[in-house]
Amino acid sequence: MEDITPAEIDNLQMPVHPRSEPLPMVRVAGSHREIGRQIGEDRADQVRHSVENARTLLDQTYDSLELTWEGATIQSRKYMPFSQERYPQYVDELIGMAEGAGVSYDELAVVNAMEAVAMDALHLTKCTSLAVNNDRTADGHVLVAHNEDWLPDDEQDVYLVHASPNDEPPWLAMTYGGLLPNIGFNAEGIAQCCDTVYPNDTRIGIPRVMVSRAVLAARSPSEAIRSALVPKRAAGYNHLLVHETGELYSVEVSARRFAILYGEDGTIAHTNHYLDQKMQAIEDESDELISTRLRYFRAMRLLKRSDLHTLKSLQVIQRDHLNFPNSICNHSDTDIEPLDREKTICALIIDLTSRAMHITWGNPCTSQYHTYYLD
Ligand SMILES: [Zn+2]
């Protein structure tokens, strides 16, 4: 993918053996309990499989994490009172999902608090997000792209949720297994991508997944940022937040600090290390975070290469293989160490102007994009 010209972008051939299946999408509506139950019933196999995956991962990594499933359950229960106090509606979604999928609430609590109870010990680097606004696209649309890098075994658990909650704007989001959805956009024209970051000030509090689920309900950019900074949060993501008017923000969050970066030249990108200086001061094991820096520089360079972007030019960035296998299109799925195994399990581009999501199931270099709309 080195030195691709705009003409070559137009001539990009699909890979020889593209993965062609579209992702399943479940339509849900009603109260949060009902929404959760509808997701659980429709996606029962995927929810159960993700619980099994989490159990297997803890089994395989016991020598290094020394965490049993029972231990993880006890740990994750400590986070739930904070969730219940601030976001009872999303605890209800989890209860509904557990009922619908025939798993226990405790099991879903572990899956949703996994990053807090175990994943910080994982060496996953995870995810590339970027966006271009209406000043920087050929058709004047606002485009937001995200590669989701995660455990290879969860690739089969990816699906989309098209939700019309009673008390929130409708939204369309990607998720996998028993996780609450958090990467997507809503009818108020707000899009969110989440990138894992590594603060050293984590504490018992509201899990990151629940904090970012709440952002999908935001009706304005300030409401989205306020949700990302909810008090008593356990840790933090980078929330790449985009408004349909073309405002681009990276909200870097830890348990106690935050920074807001702005897409000055109509583009923005974020990977898995803090960019703001005061956030860098609390980054855990910064010198381990090498490939995330390379992905960030590479994404910024490829964004600068075109004055006007298109869906295709963003797809080229999503398929980039610099520093393979730890590239933007991630292929580290054969690493011997289970804790180091990861790959791009889906790649999506949100067209915030036409309220559409183009998404692959699996690595974008070998999979077709399919398009879904928010009604
Ligand atoms: Zn690839």
**Model pLDDT for residues 22-49, shown as the tens digit of each residue:** 999 999 999 999 999 999 999 999 999 9
CA distance 312 to 358: 11
Please check whether residue 151 is in contact with residue 341, taking contact to mean a CB–CB distance below 8 angstroms. Answer: yes
Confidence of residue 288 (pLDDT cuts 50, 70, 90): confident
Closest C-alpha among 311, 316, 336 to residue 328:
316
Percent of the chain with pLDDT strictly greater than 70: 93
CA distance 330 to 196: 15
The alpha carbon of 55 and the centre of ligand 1 are apart by a number of angstroms equal to: 28
pLDDT of residue 1: 41
Confidence of residue 125 (pLDDT cuts 50, 70, 90): low
The alpha carbon of 368 and the centre of ligand 1 are apart by a number of angstroms equal to: 12
Pick the range with the lowest mean pLDDT from 47-61, 121-135, 288-302: 121-135
Annotated domain spans of the chain = 26-120, 124-373
Residues 6 or more apart from 370 whose CB is under 8 A from it?
22, 23, 358, 359, 360, 361
Strand order of the β-sheet with 267-270 is: 267-270, 128-132, 143-150, 343-351, 356-361, 370-373
The alpha carbon of 362 and the centre of ligand 1 are apart by a number of angstroms equal to: 9
The alpha carbon of 170 and the centre of ligand 1 are apart by a number of angstroms equal to: 32
CA distance 354 to 371: 11
Name the average pLDDT for the chain. 92
The alpha carbon of 95 and the centre of ligand 1 are apart by a number of angstroms equal to: 37
pLDDT of residue 10: 42
**Does the pLDDT at position 16 exceed 50?**
no
The alpha carbon of 327 and the centre of ligand 1 are apart by a number of angstroms equal to: 8
CA distance 161 to 159: 7
Token pair of 83 as six digits: 């969730």
**Does the pLDDT at position 6 exceed 50?**
no
**Does the pLDDT at position 199 exceed 80?**
yes
CA distance 7 to 87: 49
pLDDT of residue 2: 44
Percent of the chain with pLDDT strictly greater than 90: 83
Please check whether residue 161 is in contact with residue 145, taking contact to mean a CB–CB distance below 8 angstroms. Answer: no
The alpha carbon of 325 and the centre of ligand 1 are apart by a number of angstroms equal to: 8
**Does the pLDDT at position 114 exceed 90?**
no
**Does the pLDDT at position 303 exceed 90?**
yes
pLDDT of residue 335: 76
The alpha carbon of 363 and the centre of ligand 1 are apart by a number of angstroms equal to: 5
Token pair of 192 as six digits: 């969110």
User: What does the pLDDT look like over 126-172, one tens digit per residue?
Assistant: 799 999 999 999 999 999 999 999 989 999 999 999 999 999 999 99
**Does the pLDDT at position 359 exceed 90?**
yes
The alpha carbon of 8 and the centre of ligand 1 are apart by a number of angstroms equal to: 18
CA distance 218 to 215: 5
The alpha carbon of 338 and the centre of ligand 1 are apart by a number of angstroms equal to: 20
CA distance 371 to 37: 25
- Paired strand residues for 268: 131
The alpha carbon of 133 and the centre of ligand 1 are apart by a number of angstroms equal to: 25
The alpha carbon of 194 and the centre of ligand 1 are apart by a number of angstroms equal to: 20
The alpha carbon of 364 and the centre of ligand 1 are apart by a number of angstroms equal to: 6
The alpha carbon of 132 and the centre of ligand 1 are apart by a number of angstroms equal to: 22
The alpha carbon of 300 and the centre of ligand 1 are apart by a number of angstroms equal to: 18
Average of per-residue pLDDT across 55-79:
90
CATH class label, 124-373: alpha beta
The alpha carbon of 212 and the centre of ligand 1 are apart by a number of angstroms equal to: 27
**What residues pack around ion ligand 1 (CB closer than 5 A)?**
329, 363, 365
The alpha carbon of 285 and the centre of ligand 1 are apart by a number of angstroms equal to: 27
Closest C-alpha among 173, 161, 273 to residue 218:
173
Q: How many CB atoms lie within 10 A of CB 327?
A: 24
User: What does the pLDDT look like over 317-342, one tens digit per residue?
Assistant: 999 999 999 999 999 888 777 777 89
User: What does the pLDDT look like over 242-278, one tens digit per residue?
Assistant: 999 999 999 999 999 999 999 999 999 999 999 999 9
Please check whether residue 111 is in contact with residue 51, taking contact to mean a CB–CB distance below 8 angstroms. Answer: yes
pLDDT of residue 121: 63
Q: What is the 3-state secondary structure (H, E, C) of the chain?
A: CCCCCHHHHHCCCCCCCCECCCCCEEEEEECHHHHHHHHHHHCHHHHHHHHHHHHHHHHHCHHHHCCCHHHHHHHHHHHHHHHHHHCHHHHHHHHHHHHHHCCCHHHHHHHHHHHHHCHHHCCCCCCEEEEECCCCECCCCCEEEEEEEECHHHHHHEEEEEEEECCCCCEEEEEECCCCCCEEEECCCEEEEEEECCECCCCCCECHHHHHHHHCCCCCHHHHHHHHCCCCECCCEEEEEEECCCCEEEEEECCCCEEEEECCCCEEEECCCCCCHHHHCCECCHHHCCHHHHHHHHHHHHHHHCCCECHHHHHHHHCCCCCCCCCCCCCCCCCCCHHHCCEEEEEEEEECCCCEEEEEECCCCCECCEEEECC
Token pair of 331 as six digits: 């292929």
CA distance 336 to 316: 29
pLDDT of residue 46: 98
